[in-house]
Amino acid sequence: MSIRDVKTFLAVVKSGSFAGAAGAVRRTQSAVTVQIRSLENELGVELFDRSKRPPVLSDAGRRFVSKATEAVQAYERLFQASEETSVEGHLSLGVVPSVITGIMPRALVALRSKYPRLHIQLSMGLSADLVDRARQGKLDAAIVSDLVHGSSGLEWSPFLREPLVLIAPAEVPQRRAEELVTSFPFIRYTRQAWVGELIDAYLKRRRLRVNEMMELDTLEAITTMVHHGLGVSIVPQRGMHDPLALPVRRLAFSGPPAYRTIGLVYLRDHAKAALAETLLDELTSLSNETVPNDGPPPTK
């Protein structure tokens, strides 16, 4: 028995005619007639007295109304419960600083709208610490940068790549990124962060000797120092609009770009794995809306 046929039967009862039901269920009157005939054949009774115009409920039809109503309500509760309870609970999530002020707020807003019973508790830290806490079960999941030290026992799901770029004060002369990074004071992304290790490896691979003058551990702090003319730096270029971004010049290095990769990590077979995957789906969807990051970033 099709629940669609049962709903059409109730639409006929409510509207008082097959024609009225056709408008309510957005089908032709002949399609409604076929549905009611099919339902009657399955039940083995005539639900309507067709000797009258318009047809009226038969005794069997009147008895079936309450059963049909209960069936439709139960069906709708089944799917409503599935939508509401399939994504609910508490997720303890660690996030690296540059993500917590980047894509994370948009993801949280979207998830709160879709899944009001899902509660995400955030804590901020560097990738190495967050991965250790996830491995020890102190966090349900973590969003980290470049899982470079192995992932034994962990699921690692990258969802975003960001190219490394040079940032410089807006007033610096028009020169190549390679020249600026070696001739101006260098503000380093701390090597305690995995993205800092990635940047350090890039400098060594390109044989770029820098004059380091400070080491900081957040993208916002580095950008602030560069904005005020205290030096230049290499940072990951966010692939989405950043409403808090300060005006600095961003330049691509010559040659193939280097990327940092952001992903979600959690223990395999973790009790909260389904919630982590729901978060991952939202982050992946938002990442796909960003400016493509497979080419060199724009120069500003």
Q: What is the pLDDT of residues 78-88, one digit of tens each?
A: 655 544 446 88
Confidence of residue 273 (pLDDT cuts 50, 70, 90): confident
With 70 as the cut, is the pLDDT of residue 292 above it? no
Q: Above pLDDT 70, what percent of the chain?
A: 89
Q: End of a domain among 57, 85, 113? A: 85
Confidence of residue 181 (pLDDT cuts 50, 70, 90): very high
**Higher local confidence (pLDDT), 296 or 204:** 204
With 50 as the cut, is the pLDDT of residue 205 above it? yes
CB 159 within 8 A of CB 99: no
Q: What is the pLDDT of residues 82-122, one digit of tens each?
A: 444 468 889 999 999 888 888 899 999 999 998 999 999 99
Task: Quote the tokens at residue 108.
Answer: 């949280």
Number of folded domains that form the chain: 3
Same domain for 63 and 135, yes or no, is: no
Residues written for the chain: 300
Strand partners, 118: 89
pLDDT at res. 294:
39
Residue 241 maps to a domain: yes
Domain that holds residue 193: 162-251
CB 40 within 8 A of CB 8: no
Same domain for 12 and 77, yes or no, is: yes
Distance CA 236, CA 260 (A): 7
Nearest to 97 by CA among 120, 130, 119: 130
For residue 129, the domain's CATH number is 3.40.190.10
H helices then E strands: how many in the chain? 11, 11
Calculate the alpha carbon distances from 252 to 204, 223, 297 in Å: 17, 16, 6
Query: Maximum CA pair distance of the chain?
Result: 97
Distance CA 62, CA 110 (A): 45
pTM above 0.85? no
Q: What is the pLDDT of residues 35-93, one digit of tens each?
A: 898 899 889 999 999 888 888 999 999 999 999 998 888 877 765 554 444 688 899 99
